[in-house]
Structure 1
Amino acid sequence: MPGPTSDVQDVQEFEAHATDADLDELRARLAAARLPEAETVRGAAPGPRRWEQGVPLADLVDLVHYWRTAYDWRSFEARLNRIGQFRTTIDDLGIHFLHRRSARADATPLVLTHGWPDSVARFVDVVDELADPKDADAPAFHVVVPSLPGFGYSDRPTTTGWGTEKIAAAWVELMGRLGYHRFAAHGGDWGGNITTVLGGRFPAHVLGIHTTFAEGPPGLTTDGLTPVEREWVEETRRFWSHRAAYAKQQATRPQTIGYALVDSPVGLLAWILDKFAEWSDTGDSPFETMSRDRVLDDVTLYWLTRTGASAARIYYESHNALDPELRVDVPSAISAYPHDTEKCPRPWARERYRRIVRWSVAEAGGHFPSLEVPGYFVKDLREGLAAVLAAAR
């Protein structure tokens, strides 16, 4: 891939606008949905057992009704357009991204990378505060939020090869085109993996990283871990043993599940809602902490762009693909949230991230902290990046 340039002529403004016909068709499909019978644990008290067979029928029926009769996609479209949307072509693939320049002269370029089953919707509620904080003493950022290849308004790859290594290289090219030849990076889920690759492969361009999804090298021993860290290891083992069927499906047969995700809005909603529920720090419904509208913004974006299959393919491209020898020598800040799917013990993280300048364990939050606890997330991200930038000077 060619090195970064500053040729902003390669970047075009973009506006989201679904046709009325597309929205009418969505509502018609929702009205005509065929639903299964209720789960056989129906009647269980609120809590995890109520969800142990998947999304409960009553919850889905309520949400489908709201999606069809009251949800306002146009409001989210307008929000994206206000932030600022753009597209550029990298290695023959169109890449969509949000770009919010700070008014502050001392702002640092920052790329935020989402994962699955989310999208740029993961960050829309924090972009403005990161770019132009109310507190003049808080760091400010020129914020760039790309849509992963095959997600949202980015193009859907037609060939294999768009794994996390190539995506990280594309982000360096993207930031260079915007004039950001040195920048900081943050991510969670696949975004955390890509952020790790950015820090490890491109230290000449990456000032430092912040991630909520640290990954130590494989094969490390539990000797010397604290009881809490040992429990993290056991939780991760249980997750991959009993709760990761979605990942195996998408890593091995993304095309098969893709037909349902692109053809049925109710099927798409259930597939994604299941993860928002299971991976959030809640006692029962994900809407205890997350906005119902924001979850539907995310699902509707997948639906309107027909990216259920193409987004699933990131697992085919990159599942277990992080180079075990990759080491990150740029300053790194790592945050763990109590109900995330994986939490990396600090001794294990130190084996990959050689300059951890801040380590944080939140009291609340899960896999989607920018949606679940946005105020805390912004504060933690700022403090982490402040430590990173101080170490990078």
Structure 2
Amino acid sequence: MDEFRIEIPQPDIEDLRDRLRRIRWPRSLPDASWDRGVPVEYLRSVVDRWLEYDWREWEARLNAYPQYLTRIDDQPIHFLHARSPEPDALPLILTHGWPGSIAEFLEILGPLTDPRSYGAGPADAFHVVAPSVPGHGFSVPLEQPGWNHERIARAWAVLMSRLGYRRYGAQGGDTGSVVSPLLGRIDPEHVIGVHINGGLAFPNARPGDLDDLEPRDQAKLQAAERVRRTGTGYAELQSTKPQTVSFALSDSPVGQLAWILEKFHDWTDPAHSLPEDSVALGHLLTDVSIYWFTNTSATSANLYYENRVVADSAASASSTPTWPHSPDPTTLRSAVPTGVAVFPTDPAIRHILDREHMITQWTEYDRGGHFAALEAPDLLIDDIRAFFRTVR
């Protein structure tokens, strides 16, 4: 296990700025709205801000926390490891998603690791481990195919064991909302609780599940249907031809910016009209800069491809069952206590998720969105603390 510091070469920063100055802007229809994608004039304004943005400031913020590189299952794994000053702190592994990175945890690391300094009790302290998902950020290069959600969860179990943590919690949004429960199923002897937010999948409903819904759940379902109808083009591309779309994203920083910025527009608090109304633009640009500097448009999209392959294989296998067989722990209802924080963009419906998780805490919020660690860090921190008080 080697110590790691983020040190982007200065020529790479200058190259980014040069490319931003030379962008060839596309033609667009007059007054084209977000319904057609990221508006050109809006993106011009964000690019102007990116030219003024100080990467070194954000690099220093990230480097304020100890980081390491290790190899698990023949894959380089980068992770941030912020230990609490409280000796009895609970280890907690945080998992980001796409288009996220470990940078999205910057606003919650201090309160989670050192609650005493933020006006909370020391009994709520955590030792935080935040890995970069393979193929994302600094967990590169992606050296093999097959890095799907389950394989990531198994790697996280190895990582926590390697760090000497025998009793720990798991938390995550987006990809993390899938990987964290899988980690609980794979390593139930050591995972004492799972906390999730930010799931995007359309509810896995059975006949009758969507009848007689409360108005709040009806609104969630309508929003999820809109996403399924008009907001999944990125996922279709990344799950079928991730390499092809990456040529544009890896060669044009503005292309990479638009690809990610659209998701921050669509998935953040619907009460806000622009992405930076929900997430500070510095955070947005840091996230995009990480994807650009690490050249991970293709390798991060690969996760969508791998999970589609798994889903297709499962669908095929279900039509030709074999017997006898041993139960797969990743397909069973989790026996690990689970907390769910539901923000306005989350299509979570409790009675459906109850079939997969042993839910012991369920909280719905009227503020925030998919990127809760950036949009409503206060609510997410309080929810994480409240849940893990019940299982420490």
TM-score (normalizing by structure 2): 0.90
Q: 1:110 aligns with which of 84, 92, 97?
A: 92
Report if aligned partners of 1:125, 1:370 keep a CA contact under 8 Å in 2. Answer: yes
Alignment of 1:198-237 (within 5 A): 198-213=183-198, 219=206, 221-223=209-211, 225-237=213-225
Aligned residue for 1:248, secondary structure, equals: helix
Distance in 2, Cα, partners of 1:346 & 1:254: 33
Report the AA paired with residue 154 of structure 2. Answer: A
Q: Does 1:291 align with 2:280?
A: yes
Alignment of 1:91-170 (within 5 A): 91-133=73-115, 134=118, 135-137=120-122, 139-170=124-155
Count, aligned residues:
368
Instruction: Tell me the residue number matched to 1:6.
Output: none
Alignment CA distance shift 1:319-1:122 (3 Å)? farther
Deviates most, 87-96 or 132-141 = 132-141
Report the AA paired with residue 353 of structure 1. Answer: H
Aligned residue for 1:76, secondary structure, equals: helix
Deviates most, 378-387 or 201-210 = 378-387
Alignment CA distance shift 1:310-1:155 (3 Å)? same
Alignment CA distance shift 1:103-1:227 (3 Å)? same
Q: Does 1:304 align with 2:293?
A: yes
Question: Aligned-residue CA RMSD in angstroms?
Answer: 1.8
Distance in 1, Cα, partners of 2:204 & 2:170: 20
How far residue 339 of structure 1 moved from its aligned partner, in angstroms, is 2.3
Report the AA paired with residue 309 of structure 1. Answer: A
Deviation digits for residues 219-252 of structure 1 (CA, Å, limit 9, x no counterpart): 3522453232233233223311221111111000
Distance in 2, Cα, partners of 1:39 & 1:154: 40
Q: Does 1:258 align with 2:243?
A: no
Instruction: Tell me the residue number matched to 1:22.
Output: 12
Instruction: Tell me the residue number matched to 1:346.
Output: 350
Deviates most, 292-301 or 152-161 = 152-161
Report if aligned partners of 1:138, 1:382 keep a CA contact under 8 Å in 2. Answer: no
Distance in 1, Cα, partners of 2:369 & 2:137: 23
Q: Which 5+ residue runs of structure 2 have no aligned equivalent?
A: 315-329
Report if aligned partners of 1:217, 1:325 keep a CA contact under 8 Å in 2. Answer: no
Q: Does 1:179 align with 2:164?
A: yes
Alignment CA distance shift 1:327-1:366 (3 Å)? same
Deviates most, 328-337 or 275-284 = 275-284
How far residue 209 of structure 1 moved from its aligned partner, in angstroms, is 0.2
Report if aligned partners of 1:212, 1:336 keep a CA contact under 8 Å in 2. Answer: yes
Report the AA paired with residue 132 of structure 2. Answer: S
Q: 2:178 aligns with which of 193, 202, 206?
A: 193
Report the AA paired with residue 95 of structure 2. Answer: T
How far residue 327 of structure 1 moved from its aligned partner, in angstroms, is 1.4
Q: Which 5+ residue runs of structure 1 have no aligned equivalent?
A: 1-10, 43-49
Deviates most, 110-119 or 210-219 = 210-219
Report the AA paired with residue 12 of structure 1. Answer: D
